[in-house]
Chains A and B, each alone.
Chain A
Amino acid sequence: MHTSARWSALLLAPAVLLVAICFVVPIGSIVLRSFTEPELGLATYERLFADPTTLRVLGRTLLVALGAVGLCLLFGYPYAYLMTLVGPDMRAVLMVLVLVPFWTSLMARTFAWVSLLQRDGPVSALLAFAGVPGVTLLGTAAGVMIGMVQILLPYMVLTLSTTLSRIDRGLLTAAQSLGANRYRTFFQVYLPLSLPGVFAGSALVFILALGFYITPQLLGSPRESLIAQVIGVRVERLVDFAGAGGLSLIVLLTTALCLAAAVLAFRPVRAMLGQGGDRR
Chain B
Amino acid sequence: MSKTNQSPGAPAATLQQTGRSVRLSGLSKHYGDFAAVDGIDMDIRAGELLTLLGASGSGKTTTLSMIAGFTTPTEGTVLIDGEEITRVPPHKRNLGMVFQHYSLFPHMNVRTNVEFPLKQRGVPKAERRRRAMEALEVVELAHRAQARVTELSGGQQQRIALARALVFSPSVLLMDEPFGALDRALREKMQMEVRRIHRELGVTVVFVTHDQQEALTLSDRIAVFERGRIEQVGTPEDLYERPASLHVATFLGESNLLPGTVDGGVFVTRSGSRLSAGSAENGPATLVVRPEHVRVQPATGTGAGIAATVGEVVYLGADKRLVAVTADGEITARIAAAEGYRPGDDVRLGWEPGAAAVFPG
Output the nearest chain B residue to A169 by Cβ-Cβ distance.
B103
Q: Is the CB of A193 within 8 A of B106?
A: yes
Q: Is the CB of B103 within 8 A of A171?
A: yes
A115 on interface, CB distance cutoff 8 Å: no
Binds B, one of A1-9, A176-184, A256-264: A176-184
How many Å lie between the Cα of A178 and that of B99 in the bound state? 12
Q: Is the CB of B128 within 8 A of A180?
A: no
How many Å lie between the Cα of A177 and that of B107 in the bound state? 18
4 new A-B pairs (CB below 8 Å) besides A176-B90, A179-B117, A189-B105? A193-B106, A274-B108, A274-B112, A280-B122
Q: How big is the A interface, by class?
A: 20 to 34
B119 on interface, CB distance cutoff 8 Å: yes
A165 on interface, CB distance cutoff 8 Å: no
CB contacts under 8 Å to B, within A154-194, are 168, 170-171, 173-181, 184, 188-189, 192-193
- A178-B107 CB under 8 A given contacts A170-B99, A173-B70, A277-B125: no
How many Å lie between the Cα of A177 and that of B92 in the bound state? 8
Q: Is the CB of B70 within 8 A of A280?
A: no
Give the chain A neighbours of B125 by CB distance below 8 A.
Answer: 277-278
Output the nearest chain A residue to B128 by Cβ-Cβ distance.
A277
Chain B interface residues (CB < 8 Å from chain A): 68, 70, 89-92, 94-97, 99, 101, 103-109, 112, 115-117, 119-122, 125, 128, 164-165, 168, 174
A270 on interface, CB distance cutoff 8 Å: yes
Give the chain A neighbours of B70 by CB distance below 8 A.
Answer: 173, 176-177
Q: Is the CB of A174 within 8 A of B121?
A: no
Q: Is the CB of A193 within 8 A of B101?
A: no
Chain B nearest Cβ from A149, distance in angstroms: 29
Interchain residue pairs A-B with the least CB separation, the first 4: A174-B103, A179-B120, A178-B117, A177-B97
A254 on interface, CB distance cutoff 8 Å: no
How many Å lie between the Cα of A253 and that of B278 in the bound state? 93
Q: Is the CB of B112 within 8 A of A275?
A: yes
Chain A interface residues (CB < 8 Å from chain B): 168, 170-171, 173-181, 184, 188-189, 192-193, 270, 274-275, 277-278, 280
Chain A nearest Cβ from B273, distance in angstroms: 54
How many Å lie between the Cα of A170 and that of B120 in the bound state? 18
Q: Is the CB of A179 within 8 A of B128?
A: no
Give the chain B neighbours of A173 by CB distance below 8 A.
Answer: 70, 90, 99, 103
Q: Is the CB of B168 within 8 A of A179?
A: yes
Q: Is the CB of A178 within 8 A of B120?
A: yes
Q: Is the CB of B107 within 8 A of A277?
A: no
Q: A275's contact among B91, B94, B101, B109, by CB below 8 Å, is which?
A: B109
How many Å lie between the Cα of A188 and that of B101 in the bound state? 20
Give the chain B neighbours of A193 by CB distance below 8 A.
Answer: 106-107
Q: B105's contact among A171, A179, A270, A278, by CB below 8 Å, is which?
A: A171
Q: B107's contact among A179, A275, A280, by CB below 8 Å, is which?
A: A275
How many Å lie between the Cα of A173 and that of B96 in the bound state? 12
- A178-B108 CB under 8 A given contacts A171-B103, A280-B122: no
How many Å lie between the Cα of A256 and that of B165 in the bound state? 45
Q: Is the CB of A277 within 8 A of B91?
A: no
Chain A nearest Cβ from B316, distance in angstroms: 41
Give the chain A neighbours of B101 by CB distance below 8 A.
Answer: 168, 170
Chain A nearest Cβ from B164, distance in angstroms: 7
Chain A nearest Cβ from B230, distance in angstroms: 24
A-B contact pairs, 22 of them (CB 8 A): A170-B103, A173-B70, A174-B97, A175-B105, A176-B70, A176-B91, A177-B68, A177-B70, A177-B97, A178-B96, A178-B120, A178-B164, A178-B168, A179-B117, A179-B120, A179-B121, A180-B120, A189-B105, A192-B107, A274-B108, A277-B115, A278-B125
How many Å lie between the Cα of A280 and that of B115 in the bound state? 13
Give the chain B neighbours of A168 by CB distance below 8 A.
Answer: 101, 103
Q: Is the CB of B91 within 8 A of A177?
A: yes
